[in-house]
Amino acid sequence: MQGLEEKFYEERLKALEKLRALGVDPYGARFEGVSPISSIIEQSEGQGSAQTQETSEREATIAGRISSIRSHGKSIFVDLKDRTGKVQVYLRADLIGDKAFEIAKLLDPGDIISASGRVGRTRTGELTLFATNLSLLAKILLPLPEKWHGLKDVELRYRRRYVDMFTSEDVRKLFVKRTEIIRTIREFLQSRDFIEVETPMMQPVPGGAAAKPFKTHHNALGIDLYLRVAPELYLKRCLVGGLERVFEINRNFRNEGIDARHSPEFTMLELYQAYGDLTDMMEIVESLLPKLARETVGTEQIEYADKKFNLTAPYARAKYFDLFAEHLGFPATDEAKVRETAKRLQAAGQLTLKEQPEKALPAALVDVLFEHFVEDKLSGPIFVTDYPTAICPLTKAKRDDPRICERFELYIDGMEIANAFTELNDPIEQRKRFEDQAQHTDETAGRIDEDFLIALSYGMPPAGGLGIGIDRLTMILTNSSSIRDVILFPLLRPESEK
């Protein structure tokens, strides 16, 4: 604790001693019969200032956190907030008793209390609970942010999210919206006969995405395991098993960089539909996103990063190779130009490559250049289609041109929101793709999931697959600038190491 916090803490410890001397448990116990503050407000609408303490017959018990206190001699006014609203509580010795009033004089903003009494209005017409009973449920020991306006230090907001939420109604509402977004997604998919499943978080072979995994060790089995980078290969096993429409909303873990759009722990929706393909996945996206916008924002015209986006379907479409040529000025098939550009940008410190440009696969360099030159120009919503097969080892190639695969990514404001394939279900071709991939990746990423290939060998139906980043989608729908704004407790460097 810092100086001011430590001083406040010491003062509140003295208040605790006084409370205990009064025979009060400053941390309360289970409390029944509490009404949401919003119900009091709703029941009082239209009554004006006619219903005073003396004329009201309505009684209520409420509980919440004190946001402000105003003392006036033998009476105290408290503003009390719960998750549904705020109301004034009037405390007076002749109503609550002398002992309770002594407790009231030791209250601070931030304390959690309950109060019972009649609901009426003051002479100025303010809705008020005139308390006849007061209970202290939790005593605050650290100071609130100044004037109850929330934390101003951005990192401190993330580090003390619990304070950020109870001091900022907007922050609290954002996480309620996030929950509503996920609930709407579930209801949407269940209405289409998808079933929700859970697949392993710890996997012996990390697969389903080209990403660096977190490694752990299982002592009882004596084996190394990896936190999953994607659930894809297990969800496809479900298709083999006859679960023809499956989805999962859960965490992925990637031991990579952190910035405004990337977190090492993030939430993904992945779904797979047997007997479907890429066009089915497009239809799902174009049906789901407008619905989410209507229910979250109230309109399909949303605002994000000071720009307006129309989520009404259909969305624009553009081919990967056409966009590459448009923004770089030469075709992706010009290998010499691709390597020369990548080498120049790497030398200038503008690109970070896993391999030297001379040794890297041309398709891998093309994708790095696409990310660098094209992605941030994609305002969207726009489907980028027809990706090079060489960078999509789990995707079915086009029949008329095997160099191109049936994949799309959806972009909004230069940010990838969704990724979808027509899934590769040929076990022989899948093994070949895995083996080709293994030659150009590290030992971990290059390991082949033999059990998955066995599963494919039992026959997986043709299918479409779709992944949507829940955190990024929530960013778009709540107009949040950083992925850490929409994750309750984002990973941060320990304060001791700052």
Q: What is the mean pLDDT of residues 362-378?
A: 94
Task: Provide the CATH number for the domain around residue 84.
Answer: 2.40.50.140
Q: What is the mean pLDDT of residues 250-259?
A: 94
**In a 3-state reduction of DSSP, which class is residue 117?**
strand
Q: Give the chain's domain count.
A: 2
DSSP string of 433-473? HHHHHHTTS-TTTT---HHHHHHHHT----EEEEEEEHHHH
Q: How confident is the model at residue 97 (pLDDT cuts 50, 70, 90)?
A: very high
189 in the same domain as 130: no
Q: Give first-to-last CA distance, the chain, whole Å.
A: 15
Q: Are 150 and 167 in contact (CB under 8 A)?
A: yes
Note whether residue 342 is domain-resident.
Answer: no
- Bridge partner list, 391: none
Q: What is the mean pLDDT of residues 246-270?
A: 96
434 in the same domain as 384: yes
Mean pLDDT of the chain: 92
Q: Domain of residue 135: give its range.
A: 3-144
pLDDT, tens digit, for every residue of 129-164?
999 999 999 999 998 886 545 566 788 889 999 999
Residue 173 has pLDDT above 90, yes or no: yes
Residue 445 has pLDDT above 60, yes or no: no
Q: What is the mean pLDDT of residues 356-367?
A: 86
Q: What is the mean pLDDT of residues 243-263?
A: 96
pLDDT of res. 389: 96
Rounded CA separation 51/121 (Å): 6
- Bridge partner list, 221: none
Note whether residue 332 is domain-resident.
Answer: no
257 in the same domain as 140: no
Note whether residue 261 is domain-resident.
Answer: yes
pLDDT, tens digit, for every residue of 13-52?
999 999 999 999 999 888 889 999 999 999 887 665 555 5
pLDDT of res. 3: 73
pLDDT of res. 46: 63
Regarding beta strands 202-203 and 127-138, do their DSSP bridges make them parallel or antiparallel, or are they unpaired?
unpaired
Burial 328-359 (b: 16+ CB within 10 A, else e): beeebeeeeebbebbbebbeeeebeeeeebee
Note whether residue 137 is domain-resident.
Answer: yes
212 in the same domain as 88: no
pTM beyond 0.75: the answer is: yes
pLDDT, tens digit, for every residue of 322-349?
999 999 999 999 999 999 999 999 988 8
pLDDT, tens digit, for every residue of 205-231?
999 988 899 999 999 999 999 999 999
